[in-house]
A and B are shown apart, each in its own frame.
Chain A
Amino acid sequence: MKPETDIGTPDLDPRRYWPLLRYLDKAGAAIAPLPDGLDDRDILVSLYRAMVTTRTFDQKAVSLQRTGRLGTYASSLGQEAVSVGVGASMHKHDVLLPAFRDHGTMLWRGVTMTEILQYWSGDERGCDFAGPREDFPVAIPVASQATHAVGVAMAFQLRKEPRVAVCIVGDGATSKGDFYEAINACGVWKLPAVFVINNNQWAISEPTRMQTATPTLAQKAVAAGIAGSRVDGNDVVAVHDVVSRALDEARRGRPQLVEALTYRLGDHTTADDARRYRDDAEVSARWQEEPILRLRNYLVGRDWWGKADEEALIREVRAEVDRAAEAYLALPPQEPTAIFDYLHETLPPSLAGQRRMVEDGDG
């Protein structure tokens, strides 16, 4: 018996099914009326300030690394709109499960600059956030935090709490089984979870086309039976709008996948040299559409921002970052025995002996 139809190529035309939502064009001009509530000077300036803060913080962290005062660091240069947009969309009682480049989200959530520096300097106390106590520390193994988000979202569902687990992953993470296992399970259980793919188009040296044959990453949601959408990740207004709506949906038991299309302007980490695998021409073209400039152009166009505002902001943010760096550099080291003290709630006797050796300097 002959099959009735041939096996064809999948018809998932990104233009038809996965439109890229955007409010500000690459130059910062509005191409559509801004969404309700976001066309407001105070809100837009707060987003702008957070992006500038994130970039200034990144620059400081990189310079601390270059001068031997910080360990390997992953900058979020160029991706500030995704990071800040996600943070600004979350409610305080939601829980963030970040990847290792989401400093802007973490800062918005209340993690301090000092704590982030402390973590990247190799001090675990940097993950003991004074701020969002239930947020997860960054996950270094790619995509592994996605399954944690399933458990967190299930906890919210079981307790009937109107909270959302927000998990950020990179484009490379979508190649991993953990990512699919997580979105699949959220679909099965209709969990209050939002997965944001921070698609910066490069997983170290591998471009997105080496991660997937699909034209978009948002369409990965189809196989999981959840909703997917795409947003211009360099337009913080669009990120805020799309992720806020995704969170609202997730709160009603409809898990969401959002692909935010952005670009990593910097190296993968301070240990990487992106010039080995990436053309300068590509990078300089991307500087023309970066998120901070884009929002500033919009604000200036509305007469909501001027030279004096900019200078004052830079001054304030630099002072804030410098204070955080000084606080970080002045932190006393952990006691050597601290390496034992958080392994278990109570130290087992067999480890107590090893701890004593460290205490006695016999290590």
Chain B
Amino acid sequence: MAEITLVEAVAMAQVRAMQDDPTVLVLGEDVGRDGGVFRATDGLLERFGPERVIDTPLAEGLIAGMSVGLAAQGFRPVAEIQFMGFVYPAIDQIVNHASRLRNRTRGRLSCPMVLRMPMGTGIKAPEHHSESMEAMFAHVPGLRVVIPSSPMRAYGLLLAAIRDPDPVIFLEPTRIYRAVREEVEDHGEAAELDRCFVLREGGDITLVTWGAMTRETLAAADALAEEGIHAEVIDVATIKPLDEDTILQSVGKTGRCVIVHEAALTGGFGGEIAARLADRGLLSLTAPVRRVAGWDTVMPLPRMEDLYLPSVARILKAARETVSYQ
């Protein structure tokens, strides 16, 4: 079993899904001959041919819209948007059509499509390439929003997303595309959607996070352990629909919670989790819920992006304050 990167796991899951199901198609800009600008579709064209691996014109609205048409016709399109910052022309299709087709036809037509796209900062990319807009999609009824945090989960969750009968927004944190290697068995088994993963158990504080921020959060948990503070770390993975029970259960045990995300603070998905805790977990809380998030600024150009990104130090500070709250 080979150790592979997250982006290789994404490619592996797509190969597996295409082998298993002839209705799975991959489409997008540069996904064929070039294998995707991040190589997430590398080798697919040679393996499955141009009828199943389709290089599209440079038109995001088209990519999302034609996926709706293909999905309604019984295919399972897995479409790539090259960077999340370029998804906006496709928003009309995602919000008004993909997410609603089943509902507006009372189930006559459905939309089993996956829209994959890299998200987030950390690779010194140009302007518009580094934002984390997951909360925008999470707000849309009818969508699933999935964010893997490791090669293994990328493989399992992408398989699950492709096999899901409804539209899934699959966000791939570019910062950890190649930063971690992990043994991933190509067993063809999907991971469970709509479930949080407990990455580390602990009884003193719950750290809730997703995507690339799991790295800093786990590093913070390590540092806290050295101080005798045992943090439970939860990878939300599917932010919509949210598995609030796992989070509530953990906070029921620890009484304390810090939510960590890369996206801007205001209107970020951490606010939703904090609200759920206030609604259903208030009496188990022994300290206010804190959020460590990106600033409410435009994502700075690469020279300043580290300043934007929540650091281990910021997570540690919030965690210590929460644990020592009287």
Contact = CB atoms under 8 A, between A and B. Distances in A.
B110 A154 contact: no
Interface string A143-180: 01011111111111010000001000000000001100
A165 B68 CA distance: 13
B68 A148 contact: yes
Interface residues of A, number: 44
Contacts of A153: 69
B103 interface: yes
A155 B74 contact: yes
A152 B103 contact: no
Contact of A148 (B69, B141, B194, B243): B69
Interface in A339-363: 342-345, 348-351
Interface stretch (A123-131, A229-237, A293-301): A123-131
Interface string A176-206: 0110011011001000000000000000000
Given A147-B64, A148-B72, A128 B242 contact: no
B69 A149 contact: yes
Interface string B39-82: 00000000000010010110101101111111111110100000
Nearest to B103: A342
B167 to A, nearest CB: 9
Contact of B62 (A95, A147, A158, A345): A147
B303 interface: no
A64 interface: no
Interface string B6-34: 00000000000000000001000000000
Nearest to A158: B51
A45 interface: no
B66 A151 contact: yes
B245 interface: yes
A147 B69 CA distance: 7
Contacts of B61: 147, 177-178, 181
A140 B97 CA distance: 10
Contacts of B73: 95, 134, 151-152, 155-156
Interface string B75-119: 101000000000001001100110000111111111000000000
A133 B59 contact: no
B104 A137 contact: yes
Specify which of A128, A342, A344 lies most central, judged by the most chain B CB atoms within 10 Å of its CB.
A344
B89 A147 contact: no
B166 interface: yes
B241 interface: yes
A68 interface: no
A136 B96 CA distance: 14
B244 interface: yes
Contact of A144 (B51, B97, B109): B97
A21 interface: no
A139 interface: yes
A128 B103 CA distance: 10
B72 A134 contact: yes
Nearest to A123: B106
Contact of B69 (A125, A140, A150, A177): A150
B104 A127 contact: yes
A64 to B, nearest CB: 21
A141 interface: yes
B252 interface: no
Interface in B116-168: 141-142, 144, 165-166
Contacts of A148: 65-66, 68-69, 72, 97
B96 A345 contact: no
A134 B106 CA distance: 13
B121 to A, nearest CB: 28
Specify which of B71, B74, B106 lies most central, judged by the most chain A CB atoms within 10 Å of its CB.
B106
Contacts of B104: 124, 127, 137
A127 B106 contact: yes
Contacts of B77: 151
Contacts of A156: 73
A353 to B, nearest CB: 9
Contact of A151 (B65, B244, B245): B65
B216 to A, nearest CB: 27
B56 A127 contact: no
A146 B106 contact: no
Contacts of B144: 344
B75 A147 contact: no
A349 B109 contact: no
B59 A181 contact: yes
B93 A154 contact: no
A97 to B, nearest CB: 8
A182 B194 contact: no
Nearest to B22: A158
B210 to A, nearest CB: 16
A343 B103 contact: yes
Contact of A128 (B62, B93, B106): B106
A136 B98 CA distance: 12
Contact of B70 (A124, A125, A129, A155): A155
11 contacts: A137-B104, A147-B93, A148-B65, A150-B66, A151-B69, A178-B61, A178-B92, A184-B59, A342-B102, A345-B102, A349-B241
Q: Which 7 A-B pairs have the closest CB atoms?
A: A151-B69, A147-B65, A155-B73, A348-B241, A151-B66, A151-B70, A148-B69
Given A133-B108, A147-B66, A153-B69, 15 more contacts: A128-B107, A139-B97, A147-B61, A148-B66, A150-B62, A151-B70, A152-B72, A155-B70, A158-B25, A177-B89, A178-B62, A182-B65, A344-B142, A345-B110, A349-B245
Interface of B: 25, 51, 54, 56-57, 59, 61-62, 64-75, 77, 89, 92-93, 96-97, 102-110, 141-142, 144, 165-166, 194, 241-245
Interface of A: 95, 97, 124-125, 127-129, 133-134, 136-137, 139-141, 144, 146-156, 158, 165, 177-178, 181-182, 184-185, 188, 338, 342-345, 348-351
